[in-house]
Amino acid sequence: MSEIKKIKKTRTGTVVSNRMEKSIVV
């Protein structure tokens, strides 16, 4: 989870983290 927080700091990372979160939710 800490990795996702680091990715969220970057703008492009937000899109990646959003996709990862959606995958985890699904």
The DSSP-derived string for 1-26 is: -HHHHHHHHSHHHHHHHHHHHHHHH-
For 3-25, write each residue's pLDDT tens digit: 656 655 666 666 777 777 777 66
The whole-number pLDDT of residue 10 equals: 64
- pTM above threshold 0.85: no
Q: Extract the tokens encoding 9.
A: 């700091």
Structural domain of 25: 1-26
Whether the Cβ atoms of residue 7 and residue 13 lie closer than 8 Å to each other: yes
Number of domains in the chain: 1
Residue 24 neighbours by CB under 8 Å, 6+ apart: none
Q: Which two tokens stand for residue 20?
A: 């990862």
